[in-house]
Structure 1
Amino acid sequence: MDDSEKKKLSESDICDLFISPAIRDAGWDPMTQIRREVTLTPGPVIVRGNMSSRNKKKKKFADYVLFQEPSVPVGVIEAKDNNVGVSHGIQQALGYADILEVPSAFSSNGDAFASHNKVPETGEDIETEFSLSEFPSPNSLWERYKKFRGIKDEDERLILQPYYEDPSGKEARYYQVEAINRTIEAVANGQKRALLVMATGTGKTYTTFQIIWRLWKAGEAKRILFLADRNILVDQTLVNDFKPFGAVMTKVRNRKIDPSYEIHLGLYQALTGPDESDKIFKSVSRDFFDLIVIDECHRGSAAADAAWREILEYFSDAIQIGLTATPKETKYVSSTEYFGEPVYTYSLKQGIDDGFLAPYKVVKIDIDRDVEGWTPPPGMTDDLGAEIDEREYNRQDMDRILVLNQRTKLVATRVMQLLKATDPFSKTIIFCEDIDHAERMRKAIVNAAGPLALKNPKYVMRITGDSVEGKAELDNFIDPESKFPVIATTSELLTTGVDAKTCKVIVLDKTISSMTTFKQIIGRGTRIDEEHNKYFFTIMDFKGATDLFRDPDFDGNPVVIYAPDIDDDPVPPDPPDDPDGDGDGPDDEGPVGITKIRVSGVDANIIAERIEYLGPDGTLITESYKDFAKKQVLSEYASLDEFIRNWNETDKKRAIIEELEEYGVLLENLAAEVGKDFGDFDLLCHIAYEQPPLTRKERANNVKKRDYFTKYGDQARAVLSALLEKYADEGIMTIESAKVLRLQPFNSIGTPMEIINDVFGGKDQYEQAIKELEEQIYKQADA
């Protein structure tokens, strides 16, 4: 093939004819070691107003990923067509290599390979070029990877232990692969303690399953204990991610550890207690478990003197892996002091940037009594006739010390106003100060919901630790297929451990000072559920809790400020015992020993509201969808003249529309804000360049006035007139598709092939007629 012919080939052709054969000839197995067109990240979701779209321009997509085994990636290749140089894609390849944490990045245009080696031998160049026939063998890249990761020869068997292959085809995401491999490597290096920090919604349990599976299959761990402090965490794990363990797995029940099983799932509360007789973990030897995985390790096992820590200390020779979204580092409690620095961290910000986690918009609402404070007049009494202390009550006092019934009604009314304006069946969690507040909020929501609550008494439920009825509905609340309950009022129960994938609204009417608690609450909404059209979530903040988003610690690394000291005595008390031993004890019941002041006759009003969105740098900004779209259009077409020139020169307007969609600019979203009668061209010109828009019907009428169709025969004129009407009704993309010819009124003229061939004389002539029609539609754009 000569150079001129080669330059006409597409990138895909270059891959098929030159790059893939060269890799295979170097000894790479196309079935297990070479993967083409690998999506690493889908691109972040952009939210403005009540609309969302993906920014596909930020999608990360590798042309090739090379594997030593299906569980271990070792290199990436970026392919380009033959109109650019050999090393043109090397920077792109390096970006993917950084994501996958591999040392080998390659680029090729089909003539040769360019290479970047992160661990060159002494005197060797970092970047080189070589012929297609010289691509490195699997063994050479594996040796390079081992050097890069510090893997010893004797540890290869464990490092290369395969994943569990899911029959459904489910595969680990890139960060899950990294978390699994970094943990396996730590164990291979003899590390007895390991900490994994992964944001809520990123699949910690699935990641854990693959870690356990590989260590178990490799014989590195024969008996394993998965520890949690919530019954629902154990039950979800048992029936979902851990299901492939089958008959070798059991849940610790009846105060007994059954040695006939290999995989044990247990609650702290089921394994230990205040009395020596409760400590059933001592019924087996200290070396019984080879591996212990501690879910949500920032809670029960983080404190040095916590009763639950004794389980870990009893099995101190076992490999112990801690999992958390929020490692706790306080004066008294440290996750990293026990487990060490995280072997891998995947943060909420990274998850949102990649597009695996849902972004959020924040509706901040200021209530006059909160912001301005409230001081009762002299001698004022509460609802029970007791005189109220004459002092100023502020936001932190509301619903903890002072209950203003009108304020509760106001919050409930505003929540229902948002739901009714968007979707009254959006799963919603309202976080309240305590159980009493959660119950009062439930009643207020019932009244504010009106007919919605009348039609189904489970429209809103209080789900707190003391409510048998509420806890019974927890599974239904988190089940995407269950419509009711829609709204859950709670205080503590739903802060952690509940996989509520379809939760679209989180209401904060709770004073939150703990960053750990705040992160856990926000984590209830971070899951994307495309099947149920959940791409983002809304946070309604009545208590200023979202100010914590601006704290550098929100998405920063935890700083250890606690270190063990023999004289360090003042420690916080352990969590209250759970009498049922099910890990679902009562929620916080509010300040101990404080009788709340309840007042009905004091009004409350909203004095300010503002809506903030997640910006590209992770900060909250105020921006409309129109402002966002304007920025994206201007980034591609700096001036109106440039945009019009490109629009007129493009054969298919669909190409420009789809290109802008990759930036997250969806025309249906713009139409919802500007007007549904405007065409694509006018919407874009209006929002980006402030041009007065014409409706599609106005443009169609302008074409009709010009007698443009007179040069065509009767049938062609009928087709083009009907296409113009289709444009007026539906837009330009409809008439650019030949499928439109199957619809009325075209089917009365003939089949699509008859219209194209008989009426217009062939495909080229038909396409030329469509192009001329579009020129007429947008003719005034030249003015």
Structure 2
Amino acid sequence: MDIDGLKPETQARLSIDEQLKASGWKIQTWPKVNLGEGLGVAVREYPIDSGKGQYTDSADYLLFVNRLAVGVIEAKKDETILSQVEDQTLRYATSKIKFRKEEAPLSFLFEATSQVIHFTDLRDPAPRAREVFYFFKPETLQTWSKQDNSLRYSLKNCMPELEKATLRDCQVSAITGLEKSLSENRPRSLIHMATGAGKTFTAINAVYRLLNHGGAKRILFLVDTRNLGKQAQQEFHAFKPQGTQTFFHENHIVQRLNSSTIDDAAEVCICTIQRMYSILSGKPIDESAEDVSLHEIKQNQQQGKLVKYNPAVPIETFDFIIVDECHRSIYNLWKQVLDYFDAFTIGLTATPDKRTFGFFNENIVAEYSYEDSVLDGVNVGYDVYEIETEIGNKGAELKAKEWLDHRDKLTRKKRWAQAEEGSNYTSKDLDRSVVNKSQIRQVIKAMKRAVEIEIFPNRKEVPKTLIFAKTDSHADDIIQIVREEYGQGNEFCKKVTYSAKDPDGILNDFRNDFNPRITVTVDMIATGTDVKPLEILLFMRDVRSKGYYEQMKGRGVRSLSYEDLHNVSKSATTDKDRFVLIDAVGVEKSLKTESRPLERAPNLSMKDLLQGVAMGHRDDETIQSLASRLTRLSKQLDKRGLDKVEKLAGKPLPQLARELLTAIDPDAINQKALTNAKEAGITRSEETLTDTERQTAKDQLVDQACQSFDNPETREVIESARRDHEQLIDHINLDTVTYSGYSGQATDDAEKVIQTFKDFIEQHKDDIQALSFFYQQPYQRRGLTFAMLEELHQALSKPPLLLTTEKLWTAYERLNQGGDKNTKQKANTQRQLTDIISLIKFAIGLDAELKPFVEQVDAKFKKWIFRHNAQRSTAFTEQQTQWLRLIKDHISASCFIERDDFDYSPFSDHGGLQKVWGLFNNDDKNELDSLLAEMNQELIA
């Protein structure tokens, strides 16, 4: 049928008919009605009372389910503003309908053109029209008709008060804020919670409440990588709702989608947004696409292949969609997935940007920033340590005729040959076209030295460290050099990338076991993956996306108790109270964009063009750009390279390019459309072809031309052929470290820490005993106990101050205040609780130099015992001196000693109180008590 000549209203109705049929409705026209033809029947031109008891008006479509009228559709021509038609639809729904016995209004109201559908449910508390992608199935309206309440009624009136006992305040705020938003029928809600604050745990609590009280039947949990999907599934399975003895998955079926089939019984579906797009667009999924974060895929501004209605996954499949890490997965191509379903959309993110706020209609239901999380002790703060090298900053020169290794990027096979011509390479070329192992080695050596001497001087083992590399090849070079420089074996340092063998197993070991101490990744654990014991992040790649960079930093922020940290880092003596970002590429200073630029096809790399085409970016500009690149490449490759591409693609490279150009050629499209019409028995000329027929023909040509690029191996061989096959290994230019130290921002932070400490002392000098001890002179007459120090330490280390002894000491060292300039070089003493005495005395000006408490006690002890030996008729014996040293060591660790302490080790190992009492018994006078009192005063003074 040629629909171009029909009236606009008739064209719209034909389109609506097709949509209704696709969603399971039988189409009939009054009065030829057969309500027994199917469960759902849509009757056109059904008589409606015009208001005078006469059925002179008619509804465009009256919807019957199981012979009962349930809804009405008002059909309009395209470009009609549907909100202006709502009164008409409502009038039909509330009027008398011929042969209908029930008087209650029809519940389900639709206004539709061929392009847009609006829907209103009169059962809702405040019925409001919303746009839907397609019509609901008859089975859905039948289910809704039988329910006492609509979903939105339940959200407003049936949600019980939240049990708060097991939730953090930020989680309570997020859930209550979300439920308030849903009760107001807001379609999109954004939860902004810092990494580590428990976004997924919060979401699972909300899911449980929505399923059990909110009327939800199925919820989609969208992620953007397969790894995050596995992690989400584990958290659902580990969740035990408050007040129950069973786990979530024992009462609610949780399905992680690995195919296009959704289990009818599933109440929670976990799925990558790439897979769901594949299901809805009809485009087979490239399995490898689920392993790459959407941060790593540049998206074209134009949409790729559009999603289409899938009767197996109707628009009402999900009531809610929770989008994890929504800052990176809801725009452009992927947005179609969210637009398809008639569901509330809930976003979870730690790093929102302007687009995120805009997409969620600025409806931020909870906001919990990284700064808030650090103040609450949920996360830890971080310091930035910078490493710069000469070649890392400026590059180097390679002269012609130099003998160099040339290494194949894929096989890593080397050949020894002369450089054909001289060249200067820049820092951007490093680890891509040129590898300078000296540059990598200098960074690793500088990191090792900094961690051991400045950053964590008291650790016996390497703190858990994550290194971000540029590429898989770069990661392999780093691993080799790390193992060499640390003198360790394979278990010490491993690669965790999607291409690695058993990455999940290595990641689990990294979290929970002693080894590996260092892992190297490209992107697998750059976002969303928790490794709580991490204390060092080394950036050996730059990042230009602000959001992505914040996500990468977020791998280190998770707080961890002493016990859990000690399990994997045996020499840790406190809770995890910070992490250190080591910047070896200027990532902290490089210009960041608010979000990844949306590049047009001509500016995309070959890799992004190929990946984009495979994922559905099929607009003319992308197709033409790829064809041009392939044509250019075919002229650059030798026969070996061309044969390799042809073997995998099944076609010569020039033919691949030619087919792409043909697919968007108007003449070829017309010819294909005419062929299609002829095969369908329809007589057509180029002039009578419809736009729909042309578009169908074009889609067929484009799909056929792009078929070769579906194979990831084909894309990889084209991409590797495009690149220079080999990297030059520069062993001639040796690198040197030009700077290694904390950044200026870290210095500013240290000054803030110290000022906060001084302000605290001034504010509490009269009400905390350990502080008043130093202010109420002469403090030698008073006893400073270990319990006093513990009270002070607890007050300083809890939120919002979070001032541990280690953190305060590090701050002073960073500013190089208070004494020996070589303190950093010899710092190898564990920070202990009594070091807070030294910190206080230095902060309030009683000491001119900041030294560890044990060093101060040692110095005072030497003076004290020298003075006593000079004053006594006989000096202390060797045995007495040994006991006095034991007493001195105890005061160093506990700031006070009394008789009862001699019942414990190490004193009990040498005879205890009885032994020491006898040693200091002199002429019927025992000196022990007076010596203890004197040492308690003088060694702390």
1:701 matched to which residue of 2? 865
Q: Give the structure 1 partner of residue 540 of structure 2.
A: 509
- The one-letter amino acid paired with 1:313 is D
SS of 1:603 mapped into structure 2 = coil
User: Cα gap change, 1:590/1:396 in structure 2, threshold over 3 Å: closer, same or farther?
Assistant: farther
Take 2:428 and 2:368, find their aligned partners in 1: how far apart are those partners?
Answer: 33
CA change 1:742–1:776 in 2 (3 A) is closer
Runs of 5+ unmatched residues, structure 1: 1-151, 166-170, 709-717, 760-768
1:11-45 per-residue CA deviation (whole Å, 9 max, x = no partner) reads: xxxxxxxxxxxxxxxxxxxxxxxxxxxxxxxxxxx
Q: CA 1:444–1:220 in structure 2 vs 1: closer, same or farther (change >3 Å)?
A: same
> Which amino acid is the alignment partner of residue 805 of structure 2?
L
Q: How much has 1:398 moved relative to structure 2? A: 2.0
**AA in 1 matched with 2:587:** A
Q: Which of these residues, 723, 727, 730, is aligned with residue 593 of structure 1?
A: 723
Cα 1:559–1:254 change in 2 (3 A) is: closer
Bigger Rg, structure 1 or 2? 2
In 2: Cα distance, 1:773 partner to 1:231 partner: 65
Match of 1:216, SS state, is helix
Residue 535 of structure 2 aligns to a residue whose secondary structure is strand
User: CA offsets, 1:65-91, max 9 Å, x none?
Assistant: xxxxxxxxxxxxxxxxxxxxxxxxxxx
Segments of 5+ residues of structure 2 without an aligned counterpart are: 1-151, 239-246, 285-306, 407-416, 454-458, 567-575, 616-708, 797-802, 810-822, 850-855, 873-878, 922-927
The Cα shift of 1:474 comes to 3.7
Tell me the secondary structure at the aligned position of residue 378 of structure 2. Answer: coil
Residue type at the aligned position of 1:512: V
Distance 1:441 1:561 in 2: 29
Aligned 8 A contact 2:466 2:519 in 1: yes
Q: Letter of the aligned partner of 2:516 in structure 1? A: P
Q: Report which of the two has the higher share of helix.
A: 2
1: distance between equivalents of 2:729 and 2:310? Answer: 48
Q: Counterpart of 2:259?
A: 254
Please name the residue that 1:731 is paired with. Answer: 892
Is 1:309 equivalent to 2:470 in the alignment?
Answer: no
The aligned amino acid for 2:193 is M
Match of 1:459 among 492, 513, 533: 492
Q: For residues 39-71 of structure 1, give each alpha carbon's deviation from its aligned partner in whole angstroms, at most 9, with x where no partner exists.
A: xxxxxxxxxxxxxxxxxxxxxxxxxxxxxxxxx
Q: Which amino acid aligns with 2:336?
A: E
Say whether 1:319 aligns with 2:339.
Answer: no
> Per-residue deviation at 1:373?
3.8
Instruction: Say whether 1:536 aligns with 2:536.
Output: no
Write the mapping of 1:311-710 to structure 2, written as runs, cut at 5 A. 311-315=337-341, 317-329=342-354, 334-341=355-362, 342-377=364-399, 382-384=404-406, 385=417, 387=419, 392-418=424-450, 422-450=459-487, 452-453=488-489, 457-467=490-500, 469=501, 471-480=503-512, 482-530=513-561, 531-533=564-566, 534-547=576-589, 593-594=723-724, 596-612=727-743, 621=749, 643=775, 645=777, 647-648=779-780, 650-654=782-786, 657-658=789-790, 660-661=792-793, 662-663=795-796, 664=803, 666=805, 673=827, 684-685=840-841, 688-691=845-848, 693=856, 695=858, 697-698=861-862, 701=865, 704=868
1:582-636 Cα distance to aligned partner (Å, 9 max, x none): 9xx99x9999635544322111110111124876xxx854669999977866776
Counterpart CA distance in 2 for 1:447 and 1:746 is: 46
In structure 2, do the counterparts of structure 1 residues 351 and 669 end up closer, same or farther at CA, with 3 Å as the change threshold? closer
CA separation of 1:465 and 1:239: change in aligned 2, threshold 3 A? closer
The answer to whether the 8 A contact 2:903-2:912 is kept is no
Tell me the secondary structure at the aligned position of residue 283 of structure 1: coil
Is the contact between residue 429 and residue 487 of structure 1 (CA under 8 Å) also seen in structure 2? Answer: yes
Aligned length: 576
Q: CA deviation at 1:736?
A: 5.1
Give per-residue Cα distances to partners, 1:84-104, cap 9 Å, x unaligned.
xxxxxxxxxxxxxxxxxxxxx
Say whether the 8 Å CA contact 2:319–2:344 is kept in structure 1: yes
**Per-residue deviation, 1:426:** 2.8
How far is 1:470 from its partner?
A: 5.2
1:472 Cα deviation from its structure 2 partner: 4.8
The answer to whether the 8 Å contact 1:196/1:344 transfers is: yes
The alpha-carbon distance between structure 1 residues 593 and 738, as it changes in their structure 2 partners (threshold 3 A), is: same
Q: Which amino acid aligns with 2:215?
A: E
SS at match of 1:363: strand
Task: Give how far 1:369 is off.
Answer: 1.1
3-state SS, counterpart of residue 538 of structure 2: strand
Output the amino acid matched with 1:206: F
What is the distance in 2 between the residues matched to 1:647 and 1:576?
A: 77
Q: 1: CA distance between counterparts of 2:315 and 2:546? A: 36
Change (3 A) 1:458 1:689: same
Match of 2:169 among 171, 174, 178: 174
| Cα distance change of structure 1 residues 201 and 290 upon mapping to structure 2, 3 Å threshold | same
Q: Deviations over 1:477-527 (max 9, x none)?
A: 4432x2333322221222112111112221111022111221111011111
Structure 1 residues 245 and 545, CA gap change in structure 2 (3 angstroms) = same
626-635 or 350-359, which moves further after superposition? 626-635
Between stretches 152-161 and 200-209, larger displacement belongs to 152-161
1:268 to 257, 266, 273: 273
- Contact 2:469–2:540, Cα closer than 8 Å, also in 1: yes
1:223-302 pair list within 5 angstroms: 223-243=218-238, 244-247=247-250, 248-251=252-255, 252-273=257-278, 276=282, 278=284, 282-301=311-330
Choose 243-252 or 271-280, whichever is displaced more: 271-280
Following superposition, the deviation at residue 157 of structure 1 comes to 4.6
The alpha-carbon deviation at position 668 of structure 1 amounts to 12
> How many angstroms apart in 2 are the aligned matches of 1:284 and 1:475?
35
Residue 191 of structure 2 corresponds to which residue in structure 1? 196
Give distance in 2, aligned partners of 1:622 and 1:270: 47
- After TM superposition, the score normalised by the length of structure 2 is 0.52
| Structure 2 residue matching 1:383: 3-state secondary structure | strand
The one-letter code matched in structure 1 to 2:583 is D
> Is residue 297–residue 322 contact of structure 1 (8 Å, CA) maintained in 2?
yes
CA contact (8 A) 2:396 2:733 kept: no
Change (3 A) 1:612 1:229: same
CA distance, structure 1, for counterparts of residue 862 and residue 194 of structure 2: 51
Q: Distance in 1 between matches of 2:191 and 2:533?
A: 25
1:256 corresponds to which letter in structure 2?
A: T
How far has the Cα of 1:294 moved from its partner?
A: 0.9
Report the Cα offset of residue 272 of structure 1: 3.6
The RMSD of aligned alpha carbons is: 5.0
Cα distance in 2, alignment partners of residues 515 and 281 from structure 1:
37
